[in-house]
Homo-oligomer: A and B are copies of this chain.
């Protein structure tokens, strides 16, 4: 089931480096030379280049100049480093937009954007695809045998939509295919009789728009699906020449977090490995403990996309410049935050950016090298120190993460739920709820995955399924089999409200066989104002605070574990469990403030003997994750408190950072990490 999978078979070291834009400094070659000196001094070995270089590479149509890339690839190779080479579609040259208007996006009011910013291109435009394919082919042919070439980095942070006629044509075709060219199938699934929106033909379809249609949820949902489809299709077009010419160079694109507008479960199919850009808000009002577990969730989420190591493609060594308040990382936090990524499965620590640009909008974004230009800064020193640590982690590269627990998340469910009119209309809080269920695993040091509807459920002892408003018959069958075969499934309020096209299940909620699996019927759902609360009383007598949602459910075959303490539904079931086949199906009918969720996960972890990264009690604010390579197990003990804590080890370990042996009581310093090594 598990195997060791380095991103690039030919480079078995942790990657350490940054986005690097030497094309901005061609006038001052001495700065580029200095970069190479600092590159080594910082213990770096990998650079991402060419991300926004199209105007430099092709200054006039069909006139190319690769000299700066030649130079950089050679220099980095000479310094013992590797290159993640970007395709330049993240931004296009001015001449292209001027000559071919169609490459620019059209907004949802039907007007075309002007040239500017980045992204801002049509994913359908044949001209744009032709241009990017051509330059990708040239890049691949030129560098296919270059020793520095490590991976391809397709474009940059894909996102956004285009509403042009070319895209509309593609959308109509996509719909025709989905609905077997039968407009009445579409009419039924979109329930277009409502408000007299019946279509006579696919030609009548228009995009959703605030100037037109916003209320047909089936249209909204299919449009979002189409955007993922078309973006993925664009990536595939970009990849075609690369796969042909450099079949052994792995391909990725840098995903974003938190970002849910593209269905990464679909988009990942066009990639060879996952990478993402990681920008936690340390030292913010929500607190470092919140941020630590929310960032841990991100890492687990992206590792789970392919169930193998990923790259952290961007992070900042100090601060960012685009948040409302841009704080410095405190001493130690860059190392802690970077090793957190590795703990969860990253085989890299990459920064945005190597050197602060001199002008334009990201000149104040943190970098390894500041405007002062030298190495005598707090930030540079910490980067260099981290680089030295990463050099000790060769054995961790490609290692896997063993998991027995999973949280189920579906991008399309999120879209449909957030678009749903009802409940708390503007603040459904699905992501917060996923996080709320994730935290109790994290604080116990239980490796966890975030999986999708298409994943194999049988690998997990426990699956949490929060707020699955939108389901489908196949999923229900998978649930049925999973629980029958002994799985523990935990679902919540809103389960099984609509099918995959946002049509309500008839016959009572949760839809179809879910009523049997969970042994309940959900008659009504009450939404609470933010200033309101209810309570639930468990069979033990313990009470928990309840907020936001209270479903009025009836227990059929299920056993009632807790009941409401207030309002007219006082005494009705709040939590149930149903013995179903060899397994158990829990239904949580209301949202608690976290205490109950934590107690439940603790109970389930015990009942199911969920393995912990290390078999000890972890003090508050600390956690542990583990990776294995078949021989060794690496345990990353992390302390997110701003004070030292004492930990009692269960046995003797070798600690990789300091290179010594530890046992018994050890001190884990404020904002620090220990990497323990033991046998698998």
Contacts and interface: CB of A to CB of B under 8 A. Distances in A.
A327 B466 CA distance: 21
A414 to B, nearest CB: 17
A403 interface: no
A56 B326 contact: no
Nearest to A322: B421
A3 to B, nearest CB: 40
Interface in A168-195: 188-195
A91 interface: yes
Given A193-B55, A371-B508, A421 B204 contact: no
A360 B191 contact: yes
Interface stretch (A214-222, A304-312, A651-659): A214-222
Interface stretch (A525-533, A610-618, A623-631): A525-533
Interface string A249-287: 000000000000000000000000000000000001100
B501 A358 contact: no
Given A92-B196, A117-B213, A330-B568, A503 B218 contact: no
Interface stretch (A104-112, A125-133, A455-463): A104-112
Q: How large is the interface on A (under 10, 10 to 19, 20 to 34, 35 or more residues)?
A: 35 or more
A225 interface: no
B59 A198 contact: yes
A88 interface: yes
Interface in A349-387: 356-365, 370-373, 377-379
Chain copies in the assembly?
3
B360 A215 contact: yes
A444 to B, nearest CB: 30
A361 B552 CA distance: 23
A373 B568 contact: no
Contact of A371 (B23, B109, B213, B505): B505
B93 A212 contact: no
A524 interface: yes
Given A94-B197, A193-B55, A218 B359 contact: yes
Contacts of A107: 211
A204 B116 contact: no
A529 B197 contact: no
Nearest to A320: B422
Interface in A393-431: 420-426
Given A209-B116, A325-B425, A328-B526, A504 B91 contact: no
Given A322-B425, A373-B506, A425-B323, A114 B212 contact: yes
B114 A372 contact: no
A42 to B, nearest CB: 17
Given A109-B111, A115-B213, A507 B326 contact: no
A288 to B, nearest CB: 13
- Looking at chain A's contact residues, the main secondary structure is loop
B523 A372 contact: yes
A364 B422 contact: yes
A361 B217 contact: yes
A439 B340 CA distance: 49
Nearest to A28: B506
Contacts of A552: 328, 378
Interface string A555-595: 00000000000011000000000000000000000000000
A318 interface: yes
Contact of A24 (B191, B319, B373, B523): B191
28 contacts: A21-B193, A56-B196, A93-B198, A111-B211, A114-B209, A116-B208, A116-B211, A116-B212, A116-B216, A190-B359, A191-B358, A192-B360, A318-B524, A322-B421, A323-B425, A325-B527, A326-B422, A327-B526, A327-B527, A328-B526, A330-B567, A356-B504, A358-B506, A364-B420, A364-B421, A371-B509, A373-B507, A378-B523
